[in-house]
Structure 1
Amino acid sequence: MKCRELHFVRFSFVLLCFLYKVLSLCYCKLTCKEGHSGPTYESMQAVFDLQPFRPAVNLSNPTITNISFTLYAVLGVNEKTQILTTFLWLRLYWQHEFLVWQPDECDGVTRISLPVRQLWSPDIIVYEFVDDDVSQACPYVYVNHTGHIRWDRMLRLVSACNLEIFSFPFDVQNCTFTFGSYMVSPALTFEEMSGNSKRYLEASGEWELVDILGETSILQFGIDEWDIITFWVVIKRRPVLYVVNLLIPSSFLMLIDILSFYLPPHSVDRASFKMTLILGYTVFLLIMNDLLPSTANGTPIIGIYFSVCLALMVISLLETVIITNVLHHSTMKYQEVPNWFEGSNSRCNRFLVISPITILLPGIAALPELQQICQYLGDLRAHLTSLQKESELQGQWCHIGYVLDFLLFRIYLLLISCYALVIISMWCVWISQS
């Protein structure tokens, strides 16, 4: 019984002391001593002792926190984990009703700095936060004589963001920052925040700030209501690095593949050249794979572009294989050309055929030597006829090969042109929309 009474006495004493300090602050302003600039330490110590409590004389009056931020840098975008890392300059304002003094009584001092850990500070929650804040903390706040407090703090914000990479490297990302507290409102207009951020983010990094939009709303948690400010930070990627390192080299390799069709197929091993080109393009893709973003949700169109370019090179190699097969078709046991094709003179003729003529005078008996000569001439004529037929077949198949090569090359050019127009038009639309 005595123990309970002792605890009750102690609790009553602490409560009375607290009420005394509150009443003294309610009816007395901070005092200053002659020869000192600003309020005295003794008068501020009573305020420091009330650090856990909201600084309001009447607790029914809300303490509204005004918030603004400046987007200083985009530190990283991780498409695989859907994480955006930014660096913000966060500025908070609120009213401290106990930190009030008269400048005339305090040597004209209108503003002082105090340690933030000694004062009550509002709880600001960022709902998209997914990691600890490791930025350097600002230990002081600025207080003017009316009790208005300004706290500038640096914030390394690691937030979740739904990143769309389909239009990479011409992609535009829209990430949400949601700041919540019991009573919070924006200190600046969203246009002013956007303008301040653009001045710092304009000439640095891979990302460019497009705009900062926002709205205020109330979030209901059961019987509790929280004020929230939702910011939409729209950033656009600067694509020059990826255009120079990815698109232009790929376009050059595709151009070389197109120009390789002008190599004469009957005298140059065009297939070996194209196989070497495909091997070089594959090595290029392996080297540049680290520059491409990757997510489980989808593939960027530039990855599809590279895959289609590789497929077109393979199609080009297959076309060369077909032409090479046609050009060497005549060596396969003198196969005849199809009936729908009529042979003509060709650049591939390599033989000059001479038809021998044997003349035997009538009435003269053929000597054995002459009969042997005639037999030799007959064999020579049969051989030359065979060579002439082979030469004609080679010329006809060569002509077929050149016609097919011309036709397939035009089809290949049409296919590449349509593909390039589709890709360029899609990227132009994205650039214009951003």
Structure 2
Amino acid sequence: MMLAGFFFLLVLTAVDGQPSAAMCSYQDVLNYLNLTSSNELFSMTRPVKDYRQPTKVTLEVLLYAILDVKEIDQTFVPYVWIFMIWHNQYIKWDPNKFCGITSVSLPTEILWKPDLTIEEMTEKDKAPPSPLLIIHSNGRVVVQNDQVLVSSCRMHVYKFPFDTQSCTLSFRSVVHSVDELQLDHKYSSSEATNWSREAMRTQYEWLFIDMTVTNKTVNTFGMQQDMIIYTINMKRRSVLYIVNFLLPVLFFLCLDLASFLISDSGGEKLSFKVTVLLAVTVMQLILNEILPSSSDKIPLIVVFCIGIFALMMLSLLETILVMYLMEKDSASPDSEADEDQNLSEDCNKHGKAKSQSSEGEKKKWSQCACICDVPAEETPNILLKSSGSQLTEESHDFDRLSDELREGMKILTLLLKSRKEEGKPGYWTRMTKTINKVFFILYVIAAGLFLLCMCFSWTHSHE
């Protein structure tokens, strides 16, 4: 009987003990650790029992998205996840005594946290940080937080829009030296790159290449500190810039080449070239709003625009020169026309002189008629006198007529020559055709060589 009662008592004890083991809570763990918000042991100082022992912090960064890259402001805006892991020597419990509880989440204000800062950060994240952290039974503390960082980044736009940018995020402690706080990373550069590439959600106009992780010791105000640098390498997607900027400028160059088919006689060619030149100027103003003014080298795209602008300006100056020469050539026919007018006036004068000489002959014949009416005894003497004077006057008249005919022939030959020369182009007009041909050939050669040099510079030059 007593043996049966003893076994019955053991069964009751076991049945009563099962519910007590199943009723574990997180608060039991906190009570065991005496972890409260008023306990300064956990929140005031570094969690080490010997101050000479440094706190080792493992830092991991995951690039979740590239939100913006502002060249003119030289800022880089990424969306990152930051993981920090360190060991707290005051936290430790046996999970078997607390129903297998291995981790507990706590408010971040209760425990001490590393005072890490990002050197490149120019604006704090407006979103609130994560309110919780996780403690593990072996004393490990894990904090994970997502942030939108606005950081400074030195932009190298020499090969814009075919450029590759490298922006860094440098983590270090604010007040702790390397003897007190040591930074380390668990994942290598290739693992961090693959991890970020799998988690990447958006890349804006950039293509994420890789992310490198380096650890070094720096001297900050005479104090040695550990620093972890995450370098994010990315390449610009240049298709839209090619379609929206480079190709239109090339099209303007082609239009300027096509303007050589327009006649130089009118002002249409000059106005067309000026319009194309103004269009390139507008493209340069748009480019000025994109590129930063603090770059060490002149970007190749600026050289490209200036070269195209210079070629078009030379073409415009050549058109102005050609129009000036043609205007000069058109001024010489006007003087020739004045000479023709003078010649015609001379012809009119000579015609009047001829009419006057014919009138004189009529008077002479009327005098002869008067002689015929004279009496018979006076006629021989009168006839002799009149016939001698008449012969001398007629010889002089024939000489004058021959001279006038020679002058008339000269005038007619000059008029015929001037009429023939009106149909032929002038000297400067012929010269302008030669100038246009030579300049067009040189223009095409110069434009081709310039474009080849630009392509070579964009593909082979180093920033």
Match for residue 240 of structure 1? 239
Give the one of 16, 38, 50 matched to 2:26.
38
Aligned residues of 2:71 and 2:290 also touching (Cα < 8 A): no
Aligned to 2:122, the other structure's residue is in SS state coil
> Does residue 124 of structure 2 align to residue 132 of structure 1?
yes
Match for residue 421 of structure 1? 452
Q: Distance in 2 between matches of 1:100 and 1:39?
A: 14
Match for residue 401 of structure 1? 432
Which amino acid is 2:421 matched to? K
Which amino acid is 2:157 matched to? I
> Does residue 104 of structure 2 align to residue 108 of structure 1?
no
Q: Distance in 1 between matches of 2:22 and 2:59?
A: 37
Q: Distance in 2 between matches of 1:403 and 1:222?
A: 73
Q: Distance in 1 between matches of 2:127 and 2:21?
A: 38
Q: Distance in 1 between matches of 2:408 and 2:200?
A: 94
* CA-CA distance at 1:406 after TM superposition: 0.9
Q: Distance in 2 between matches of 1:221 and 1:238?
A: 38
Question: Superposition pairs for residues 141-220 of structure 1, below 5 Å?
Answer: 141-181=133-173, 182-201=181-200, 203-220=202-219
* CA-CA distance at 1:266 after TM superposition: 4.4
Match for residue 388 of structure 1? 420
* CA-CA distance at 1:224 after TM superposition: 4.9
* CA-CA distance at 1:397 after TM superposition: 3.7
Aligned residues of 1:39 and 1:106 also touching (Cα < 8 A): no
Paired residues, what number? 371
* CA-CA distance at 1:316 after TM superposition: 0.8
Aligned residues of 1:161 and 1:176 also touching (Cα < 8 A): yes
Residues 383 and 199 (structure 1), Cα distance of their counterparts in 2 relative to 1, 3 Å cut:
farther
* CA-CA distance at 1:281 after TM superposition: 2.8
Which amino acid is 1:35 matched to? M
Aligned to 1:64, the other structure's residue is in SS state strand
Residues 163 and 292 (structure 1), Cα distance of their counterparts in 2 relative to 1, 3 Å cut:
closer
Aligned to 1:99, the other structure's residue is in SS state coil
The structure with the largest alpha-carbon Rg is 2
Q: Distance in 1 between matches of 2:283 and 2:189?
A: 44
Which amino acid is 1:117 matched to? E
Deviation sequence 1:43-93 (CA, Å, 0-9, x none)? 354364121122234444332100010122333334444433332211111
Q: Distance in 1 between matches of 2:240 and 2:25?
A: 56
Q: Distance in 2 between matches of 1:145 and 1:152?
A: 18
* CA-CA distance at 1:200 after TM superposition: 4.0
Match for residue 225 of structure 1? 224
Residues 133 and 269 (structure 1), Cα distance of their counterparts in 2 relative to 1, 3 Å cut:
closer
Aligned to 1:333, the other structure's residue is in SS state helix
Residues 284 and 376 (structure 1), Cα distance of their counterparts in 2 relative to 1, 3 Å cut:
farther
Q: Distance in 1 between matches of 2:27 and 2:88?
A: 15
Can you give the 5+ residue segments of structure 2 that lack an aligned partner in the other structure?
1-19, 174-180, 335-396
* CA-CA distance at 1:189 after TM superposition: 1.3
Aligned to 1:137, the other structure's residue is in SS state coil
Residues 203 and 219 (structure 1), Cα distance of their counterparts in 2 relative to 1, 3 Å cut:
closer
Deviation sequence 1:146-187 (CA, Å, 0-9, x none)? 222221112333333322222111122223322123211012
Residues 329 and 112 (structure 1), Cα distance of their counterparts in 2 relative to 1, 3 Å cut:
same
Aligned residues of 2:120 and 2:151 also touching (Cα < 8 A): yes
Q: Distance in 2 between matches of 1:202 and 1:397?
A: 68
Residues 426 and 136 (structure 1), Cα distance of their counterparts in 2 relative to 1, 3 Å cut:
farther
Q: Pick the structure with more helix per residue.
A: 2
Residues 319 and 220 (structure 1), Cα distance of their counterparts in 2 relative to 1, 3 Å cut:
closer
Q: Distance in 2 between matches of 1:161 and 1:292?
A: 14
TM-score (normalised: structure 1): 0.75
Which amino acid is 2:441 matched to? R
Q: Distance in 2 between matches of 1:371 and 1:137?
A: 118
Give the one of 65, 83, 88 matched to 2:57.
65
Can you give the 5+ residue segments of structure 1 that lack an aligned partner in the other structure?
1-31, 336-364
Which amino acid is 2:216 matched to? S
Q: Distance in 1 between matches of 2:222 and 2:419?
A: 102
Aligned residues of 1:135 and 1:154 also touching (Cα < 8 A): no
Match for residue 370 of structure 2? none
Q: After the TM superposition, which of the residue ranges 409-418 and 79-88 deviates more from structure 2?
A: 79-88
Residues 268 and 225 (structure 1), Cα distance of their counterparts in 2 relative to 1, 3 Å cut:
closer
Aligned to 2:26, the other structure's residue is in SS state coil
Match for residue 120 of structure 1? 112
Which amino acid is 1:187 matched to? K
Aligned residues of 1:80 and 1:296 also touching (Cα < 8 A): no
Match for residue 377 of structure 2? none
Question: Superposition pairs for residues 315-330 of structure 1, below 5 Å?
Answer: 315-330=314-329
Aligned residues of 2:157 and 2:291 also touching (Cα < 8 A): no
Q: Distance in 2 between matches of 1:390 and 1:142?
A: 101
Q: Distance in 1 between matches of 2:167 and 2:286?
A: 30
Aligned residues of 2:156 and 2:295 also touching (Cα < 8 A): no
Question: Superposition pairs for residues 265-304 of structure 1, below 5 Å?
Answer: 265-266=264-265, 269-287=268-286, 289-295=288-294, 297-304=296-303
Aligned residues of 1:202 and 1:208 also touching (Cα < 8 A): no
Match for residue 332 of structure 2? 333
* CA-CA distance at 1:256 after TM superposition: 0.9
Aligned to 1:70, the other structure's residue is in SS state strand
Residues 285 and 218 (structure 1), Cα distance of their counterparts in 2 relative to 1, 3 Å cut:
closer
* CA-CA distance at 1:206 after TM superposition: 1.6
Deviation sequence 1:370-395 (CA, Å, 0-9, x none)? 99999877645422312323444x25
Q: Distance in 2 between matches of 1:407 and 1:261?
A: 12
Aligned residues of 1:190 and 1:214 also touching (Cα < 8 A): yes
Deviation sequence 1:286-318 (CA, Å, 0-9, x none)? 355433443364542212321221221111111
Aligned residues of 2:64 and 2:201 also touching (Cα < 8 A): no
Cα RMSD for the two superposed structures: 3.3
Aligned residues of 2:73 and 2:292 also touching (Cα < 8 A): no
Aligned residues of 1:93 and 1:187 also touching (Cα < 8 A): no
Match for residue 25 of structure 1? none
Residues 53 and 34 (structure 1), Cα distance of their counterparts in 2 relative to 1, 3 Å cut:
farther
